[in-house]
Amino acid sequence: MSKLRYFYDLMSQPSRMLYIFLETTKTPYERCLVNLGKGEHLTDKFKATNRFQKVPCIVDKNDLHLAESVAIVRYLAREYPFADHWYPKDSQKRARIDEYLEWQQHNTRAVCATYFQYMWLRPRLMGTKVNPERAEELKQKMEDCLDFIEGDYLGGGNRFLVGDEISVADLFAACEIEQPKMAGFDPCAGRPKMTAWMERVREVTNPHYDEAHKLVYRIAPESVPRPKL
Amino acid sequence: MSKLRYFYDLMSQPSRMLYIFLETTKTPYERCLVNLGKGEHLTDKFKATNRFQKVPCIVDKNDLHLAESVAIVRYLAREYPFADHWYPKDSQKRARIDEYLEWQQHNTRAVCATYFQYMWLRPRLMGTKVNPERAEELKQKMEDCLDFIEGDYLGGGNRFLVGDEISVADLFAACEIEQPKMAGFDPCAGRPKMTAWMERVREVTNPHYDEAHKLVYRIAPESVPRPKL
């Protein structure tokens, strides 16, 4: 049976999530880098791997080609053994995690990625100018979402987003929340619970967390606190 | 044990999806209407049911309060018996469905809902004016997404999005694709495979499909084909 092949670029938040997850859980896999900066995801060769032409994606036994990080995590949970806390079999706990994974699509992921793209990526890739009014609007949406996580998900005294053990929800969330740091935004400023939680996620998954975020730490300006590597 | 309570408004696409699903699978539940037009989702009373203040959501045994339609479907699949084809236990088939359910968040759902809101809902609720350039841009995104479904998901000759039997993916997709009809957009125009597939989804789930879409059919202008009820 052929080994799980993982296609990724660490500039992509869900790529980092799955990288950290596969490494931390010691799931055997083959690394297949896809350089987004060089447009490797846009080639016909890669299209044969993933028809959506995005990373992350996997190719696994029985020639399964699978995209969408959340779908990949669910597939891995069925096919590979890892500690239950990552994606609990308990129906109610799993429901709570699933609820976050869907909610984040239009919240954490949407707002952090949009801000990063508008402020950092598009000006560099396409030479677009930043409109201060639009920037403020996108920043506010991000602040509102992070405030909700601080007050609701972390407000009850949980150590992690769903209960006291780390789950895939934490990894997805942390990787998204790291992204706007590159655009000079500090998501933890004024959010003590988020600060402590981000540090916990990092501790549990290091050295892989820092490895995956090396580029984020390097690109983020001096004004944004980050670990010294 | 108390009965599953389902909170919904049929103006909401995922509310329709779950309504049709619960009815078609004969899952016992209590109907709890939340009138979005009257702002019932914004009350403190409803906030105690769903902290996100959105529909659909459920309250089930052990006082589980769960939001996010995709997470709800996954929970129901664990807790209530229904035919396997809706959400197959087979790992690879389930992976394909999960992939669609995540992909749609930033595609089918995002583009159809955004177009509907921009063209129909916001002008009525907030008196906003439609900018023809922006309208064209949103329309084009929707056309691209629908073309991808026509060419990829339905292009291989499958009767349904993932294989030859109906699954939750079809129901989610169809309910989203119905929505822009209210804004005078016919998603099936020039898409023979989508036309036939939408009709199949409707047939398999009727009379519940038409019941759920009564308002859509009524609001959609004459130019958009719809069933005669």
Tell me which residues of chain B, numbers 102 to 121, contact chain A at a CB-CB cutoff of 8 Å. Answer: 102-103, 105-106
pLDDT tens for residues A110-128? 999 999 999 999 999 999 9
- Rounded Cα–Cα distance for residues B137 and A171 (Å): 34
Interface membership of B48 toward A (CB under 8 Å): no
Whole-model pTM?
Answer: 0.96
* pLDDT (tens place) for every residue of chain B, 229 residues total: 578 999 999 999 999 999 999 999 999 999 999 999 999 999 999 999 999 999 999 999 989 999 999 999 999 999 998 999 999 999 999 999 999 999 999 999 999 999 999 999 999 999 999 999 999 999 999 999 999 999 999 999 999 999 999 999 999 999 999 999 999 999 999 999 999 999 999 999 999 999 999 999 999 999 999 887 7
pLDDT at residue B229 in the model: 76
pLDDT tens for residues A151-197? 999 999 999 999 999 999 999 999 999 999 999 999 999 999 999 99
Residues of A in contact with B101 (CB under 8 A): 71
Torsion A81-A85-A87-A88 (CA) sign: positive
**What is the token pair recorded at B40?**
């019932």
- Rounded Cα–Cα distance for residues A30 and B134 (Å): 44
Rounded to two decimals, the ipTM of the complex is 0.96
- Rounded Cα–Cα distance for residues B226 and B112 (Å): 17
Among partner residues A75, A92, A152, which is closest to B95 by beta-carbon distance? A75
Residues of A in contact with B70 (CB under 8 A): 98, 102
Q: pLDDT tier at A1 (50, 70, 90 boundaries)?
A: low
Residues B106, A102: C-beta atoms closer than 8 Å: no
Interface membership of B78 toward A (CB under 8 Å): yes
| CB distance A212 to A16 below 8 Å | yes
- State the pairing for strand pair A5-8/A30-33: parallel
| Chain B residue with minimum CA distance to A145 | B52
Q: pLDDT tier at A46 (50, 70, 90 boundaries)?
A: very high
- The residue-averaged pLDDT of A86-115 equals 97
Interface membership of B74 toward A (CB under 8 Å): yes
The torsion defined by the Cα of A92, A95, A97 and A98, in degrees rounded to 10, comes to 170
Number of C-beta neighbours around residue B151 at 10 A: 12
Expressed in angstroms, the distance from the first to the final Cα of chain B is 38
- For B52, residues 6+ apart whose C-beta sits below 8 A from its C-beta are A103, B67, B68
Residues A91, B79: C-beta atoms closer than 8 Å: yes
Residues of B in contact with A78 (CB under 8 A): 91, 94
| Chain B residue with minimum CA distance to A61 | B92
Size of interface A-B (CB pairs under 8 A): 70
- By C-alpha distance, which of A229, A228, A154, A167 is closest to A195? A154
- By C-alpha distance, which of A158, A102, A149, A92 is closest to B67? A102
Expressed in angstroms, the distance from the first to the final Cα of chain A is 38
